[in-house]
């Protein structure tokens, strides 16, 4: 690609392509990725590789690229499957990649979760999970149970039903009030280091909301242990135990949306190992960030009850269900994950983030510094100046994508100590730059 074509790349992009949550008339700056390898990206502000800078990816491409880029084994898995076949419909047909992945998910996820639906993205997985819950209640002869209980501060995706269980005020979808079905919101769980009294107060409020709406509720859906895109909020496992209790008491299914937390990010392979849900949604890191794929895993009891609903089947079946390329790379990603010492890596990265970010606590303009697993978060008092923060982070050697009042990192598990330190330096630089720009 020569320089003229490279300039065309960004010019055409600016004129014609929407980016996530952006305006077509006043687009924010985008940089061109001209290469990626390991935990690193080559970013160009002109589109030309000649101008590219090499930075550490602190985002894992929205939390998905846990093994970094161009992993030799993941690359090979995709190539091998291309040489067999890239896609076939899943209606009436099956194939080894889907079956091998299904078997791996049944084995890796907690005991009892062993019925698998392969969906094509996280949002679709949440749609399918909600549909499963509604069909379960219908199978029990309870069609009037069709609302969901969730907590404030959550995020479950951008399609309409996932939006309806996402935080109605603070989230990305506040403008849709009146359009979305209205679900039931309990208070946000307290912070992960909350005192017992605080947890008890939250439990009382959660139980009261559940009891008030019990007759119309079908299920509970939450991101367990860590609310992600809604605000990077880790909370106590005791809250999950309460949710399990409440679900059992009122005949509700408990759905854990582990699209962000799955595959080791919080220090647990799945949070569902701590408290077992009835339905588990997986996505993002499932394919090591190579392709879009998600899965919904549930119990035999739920599957059988769905079959007793009026249609007798689970009413969902996307065109690209069980895409063989995506399944093949997911299988290899799970092998790489489980054969490496992911737990040690997550702990090592988490500790370095924690120690490195601690000095920012108490800085004027910084509201909080927190971490869980391989996640490090700095919360400012004011919304982050994204341009100032991003420019400063890149100058310090890392790619970060702050949102709201948060500057944070979720690095690939393959980051070396030096690369984590670079991410820490970039978070410091981004924090200072944003504070100066908004002062
Ligand atoms: C990202 C995310 C989703 C949506 O996944 P997409 O693949 O973007 O549709 C849903 N739930 C959670 C918790 C997520 O982090």
Mean pLDDT score, 186-209: 98
Residue 121, ligand 1, Cβ within 6 A: yes
- Active-site residue numbers? 21, 155, 257, 284
Instruction: Say if residue 185's pLDDT is above 70.
Output: yes
Residue 298, ligand 1, Cβ within 6 A: no
- 365 vs 4, more confident: 365
317 assigned to a ligand binding site: yes
Give the ligand 1 atom nearest the CA of 126.
Answer: 10
Query: What pLDDT was estimated at residue 172?
Result: 64
Query: What pLDDT was estimated at residue 310?
Result: 85
Give the ligand 1 atom nearest the CA of 62.
Answer: 1
Query: What pLDDT was estimated at residue 343?
Result: 97
177 assigned to a ligand binding site: no
Give the ligand 1 atom nearest the CA of 154.
Answer: 13
Q: Is 193 left (phi over 0), alpha (psi -120 to 50) or beta?
A: alpha
Give the closest residue (by CA) to ligand 1 atom 8: 122
Residue 166, ligand 1, Cβ within 6 A: no
Query: What pLDDT was estimated at residue 5?
Result: 75
62 assigned to a ligand binding site: yes
Instruction: Say if residue 418's pLDDT is above 50.
Output: yes
What is the DSSP track for 206-267? HHHHHHHHGGGEEEEEE-SSEE-TTT-EE--HHHHHHHHHHHHHHT-EEEEE-TTTTTTTTS
Give the ligand 1 atom nearest the CA of 284.
Answer: 7
Cα(259) to ligand 1 centroid in Å equals: 6
CA dist 389 and 401 (Å) reads 9
Mean pLDDT score, 288-296: 98
Give the closest residue (by CA) to ligand 1 atom 11: 156
Query: What pLDDT was estimated at residue 66?
Result: 98
Give the ligand 1 atom nearest the CA of 228.
Answer: 15
Instruction: Say if residue 46's pLDDT is above 80.
Output: yes
Mean pLDDT score, 352-377: 98
Mean pLDDT score, 374-394: 98
Cα(229) to ligand 1 centroid in Å equals: 8
Instruction: Say if residue 4's pLDDT is above 60.
Output: no
314 CB-near residues (< 8 Å, 6+ apart): 117, 128, 131, 132, 135, 303, 306
Give the closest residue (by CA) to ligand 1 atom 15: 260
| Mean pLDDT computed over every residue of the chain | 96
284 assigned to a ligand binding site: yes
Residue 57, ligand 1, Cβ within 6 A: no
Cα(380) to ligand 1 centroid in Å equals: 24
Residue 257, ligand 1, Cβ within 6 A: yes
Instruction: Say if residue 3's pLDDT is above 60.
Output: no
CA dist 88 and 78 (Å) reads 15
Strand-by-strand arrangement of the 113-119 sheet? 113-119, 294-299, 279-282, 253-257, 217-222, 147-151, 184-186
Residues 53-99: tens digit of each pLDDT = 999 999 999 999 999 999 999 999 999 999 999 999 999 999 999 99
Cα(294) to ligand 1 centroid in Å equals: 9
pTM given for the model: 0.97
In DSSP terms, 380 is beta-bridged to 366
Residue 265, ligand 1, Cβ within 6 A: no
Instruction: Say if residue 107's pLDDT is above 60.
Output: yes
Q: Which of 20, 65, 124, 126 to mutate to test the pocket of ligand 1 (most atoms within 8 A of CB)?
A: 126
319 assigned to a ligand binding site: yes
Q: What count of residues does the chain have?
A: 439
122 assigned to a ligand binding site: yes
Query: What pLDDT was estimated at residue 1?
Result: 47
- 171 vs 34, more confident: 34
CA 79 from chain centre, in angstroms, equals 26
Residue 270, ligand 1, Cβ within 6 A: no
Mean pLDDT score, 232-256: 98
High-pLDDT (> 70) share of the chain, % = 98
């Amino acid at each position: 690609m020569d320089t003229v074509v490279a300039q065309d790349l960004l010019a055409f992009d600016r004129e014609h392509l929407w980016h996530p949550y952006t305006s077509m008339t006043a687009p924010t700056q985008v940089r061109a990725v001209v290469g990626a390898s390991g935990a690193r990206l080559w970013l160009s502000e002109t589109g030309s590789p000649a101008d590219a800078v090499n930075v550490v990816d602190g985002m894992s491409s929205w939390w998905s690229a846990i093994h970094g880029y161009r992993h030799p084994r993941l690359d090979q898995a995709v190539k091998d499957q291309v040489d067999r076949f890239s896609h076939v419909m899943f209606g009436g047909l099956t194939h080894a990649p889907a079956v091998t992945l299904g078997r791996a998910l049944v084995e890796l996820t907690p005991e009892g979760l062993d019925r698998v639906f392969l969906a094509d993205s996280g949002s679709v997985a949440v749609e399918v999970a909600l549909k499963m819950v509604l069909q379960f209640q219908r199978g029990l002869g309870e069609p009037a149970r069709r609302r969901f209980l969730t907590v404030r501060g959550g995020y479950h995706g951008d399609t309409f039903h996932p939006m309806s269980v996402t935080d109605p005020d603070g989230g990305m979808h506040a403008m849709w009030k009146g359009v979305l079905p209205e679900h039931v919101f309990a208070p946000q769980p307290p912070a992960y280091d909350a005192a017992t009294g605080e947890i008890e107060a939250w439990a009382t409020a959660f139980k009261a909301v559940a009891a008030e709406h019990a007759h119309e509720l079908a299920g509970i859906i939450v991101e367990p242990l860590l609310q992600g895109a809604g605000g990077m909020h880790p909370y106590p496992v005791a809250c999950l135990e309460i949710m399990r209790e409440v679900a059992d008491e009122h005949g509700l299914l408990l759905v854990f949306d582990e699209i962000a937390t799955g595959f080791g990010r919080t220090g647990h392979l799945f949070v569902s190992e701590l408290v077992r849900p009835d339905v588990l949604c997986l996505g993002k890191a499932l394919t090591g960030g190579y392709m879009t794929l998600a899965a919904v895993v549930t119990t035999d009891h739920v599957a059988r009850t769905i079959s007793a609903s009026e249609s007798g089947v689970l009413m969902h079946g996307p065109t690209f269900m069980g895409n063989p390329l995506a399944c093949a790379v997911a299988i290899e990603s799970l092998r790489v994950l489980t054969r490496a010492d992911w737990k040690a890596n997550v702990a090592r990265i988490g500790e370095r983030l924690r120690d490195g970010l601690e000095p920012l606590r108490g800085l004027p303009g910084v509201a909080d510094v927190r971490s869980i697993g391989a996640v490090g978060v700095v919360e400012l008092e004011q919304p982050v100046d994204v341009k100032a923060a991003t420019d400063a982070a890149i100058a310090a050697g890392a790619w970060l994508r702050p949102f709201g009042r948060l500057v944070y990192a979720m690095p690939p598990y393959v980051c070396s100590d030096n690369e984590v330190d670079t991410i820490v330096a970039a978070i410091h630089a981004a924090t200072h730059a944003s504070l100066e720009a908004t002062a």
